[in-house]
Amino acid sequence: MSLPTTEDIVDDLSFFDDWEDKYKYIIDLGKSLPAFDDEWRTPERLVKGCQSSVWIQPGSQQDAVKGEVLTFSVDSDAIIVRGLLGLVLSALNHKTPEEILLFDISAFFESLDLERHLSPTRGNGLRSIVNRIKNIAQSVA
């Protein structure tokens, strides 16, 4: 399964006038994420927010054009957070460490009018996941 690109997402979401359609899209995106392996549900892979939890399993692959790219499998017990993780992956999955470090995720969420989900007060673990992905990219860049 391939995720939509960030450009696709910006295009798709710009069609929706009302919030319900927009969030149904995010919920559907969450449902379309590949299943997370149950064996990966361990404390090291868990980012516990006070409202919902997020899991992340990092990996890497060789890309014929770009060389080594980082891959991430993610999950959340909350479907909207899972959808928002889909947005994060559309931007940061299968990217080189340099691409990950250069990508401005806050600006991306702002362009979708979803920036408040990245705020530290939401307690949904999303911000911590983005930081973790950036740290992994930093450590191999």
Partner 1 sequence: MSFDVAAIREQFPILKREIDGNPLVYLDNAATTQKPQCVIDALVDYYTTCNSNVHRGAHRLADEATRRFEAARDIVKEFINAPNREEVIWTTGTTEGINIVANGLRSLLSPGDEVIATGMDHHANLVTWQQACKASGATFKTVPVTDSGELDQDAYSAMLNENTKFVAFSHVSNALGTINPIKEMTAKAKQFGAWVLVDGAQGAAHGWADVQDIGCDFYVFSGHKLYGPMGIGVLWGRESVLENWPVWRTGGEMISTVTLEDATWNVLPYRFEAGTPNVGDAIAMGEAIRWFSSLDQEAVAAHEKALLDHATELAEAFEGLTIVGTAKEKIGVLSFVMDHGHPADIGFLLDRQGIAVRTGDHCAQPLMDRFNVPGTARASFAIYNTLEEVDALFVALKKVRTMLA
Residues 9-48 that bind partner 1 (CB under 8 A): 19-20, 23-24, 27
Which residues fall within 8 angstroms of residue 76, CB to CB, at 6 or more apart? 30, 52, 53, 54, 55, 82, 85, 124, 125
Radius of gyration of the chain (CA): 14
Cβ distance to partner 1 smaller for residue 10 or 79: 79
- Does the active-site annotation cover 50? yes
Which residue, 20 or 44, has its beta carbon nearer to partner 1? 20
| 3-class secondary structure, 12 | helix
Q: Return the residue of 56, 124, 127, 136 that touches partner 1, per CB under 8 A.
A: 124
What are residue 106's DSSP bridge partners? none
Is residue 128 close enough to count as binding partner 1 by CB under 8 A?
Answer: no
Contact positions toward partner 1, by CB under 8 A?
19-20, 23-24, 27, 49-53, 77-81, 123-124
